Amino acid sequence: MAIVQEFRKIIEDENLTWSILFHPGQVVSILLRHRFLHFLLVGGGGAGIGIGSTWLLTTYVFGIERYFSAYLLGTTAALIFNFTMYSIVIFKTTREHVRRLVVYLLYIIGIITVQALSVKTITPIVGLRWYLLVIAMVVGFFSIVNFLVFKLAIFKDRGSSIIGSL
């Protein structure tokens, strides 16, 4: 509930209207100010690492029948990259890295489980040939939720963190 309130606060602080949302320059300015564009670039890099690793492992190691094993390994590589970049570049944390890592892993394992179940459910419906597109769409869908949780909870200063007492 606190995340929804913070999201509303951002909307109010920025005086967001529909006309602003259709003005690319203003949207980019807002995204830069709240570091969401940076987050997307790092997340995109992590997704690229994950999808690239998945493709390489599927193509050269596991075969298409075991794409899901390749997906899990690619996701692991992406998680390591993302946590490091979020800590150093996006949220510029300087302390409590072990606590943040534990909370990040607990949260992200839950999200990855939901993502994995989504990929495993959707891919057979649309066909194995489209496994990379399904993975990319699922990851993209969860990126906004992840940004809000990371910014407002996991990588926020402990004194004002939603989950700072963990």
pLDDT bracket for residue 158 (50, 70, 90): low
Q: Highest mean pLDDT range out of 90-99, 115-124, 143-152, 153-162? A: 115-124
pLDDT bracket for residue 164 (50, 70, 90): very low
C-alpha distances in Å from residue 81, one per residue of 69, 70, 118, 131? 19, 17, 22, 22
- The whole-number pLDDT of residue 39 equals 81
pLDDT bracket for residue 123 (50, 70, 90): very high
Task: For residues 156 and 36, give the distance between their C-alpha atoms in angstroms, rounded to a whole number.
Answer: 14
Q: What is the mean pLDDT of residues 150-157?
A: 77
Residues with Cβ within 8 Å of 100's Cβ and at least 6 positions away in sequence, in order, are 87, 93, 154, 155
Task: For residues 21 and 7, give the distance between their C-alpha atoms in angstroms, rounded to a whole number.
Answer: 15
Task: For residues 9 and 59, give the distance between their C-alpha atoms in angstroms, rounded to a whole number.
Answer: 46
Task: For residues 116 and 111, give the distance between their C-alpha atoms in angstroms, rounded to a whole number.
Answer: 8
pLDDT digits (tens, 9 = 90+) for 22-61: 777 776 776 666 667 778 888 889 989 999 999 999 999 9
- The whole-number pLDDT of residue 37 equals 76
Task: For residues 20 and 14, give the distance between their C-alpha atoms in angstroms, rounded to a whole number.
Answer: 10
Task: For residues 110 and 123, give the distance between their C-alpha atoms in angstroms, rounded to a whole number.
Answer: 20
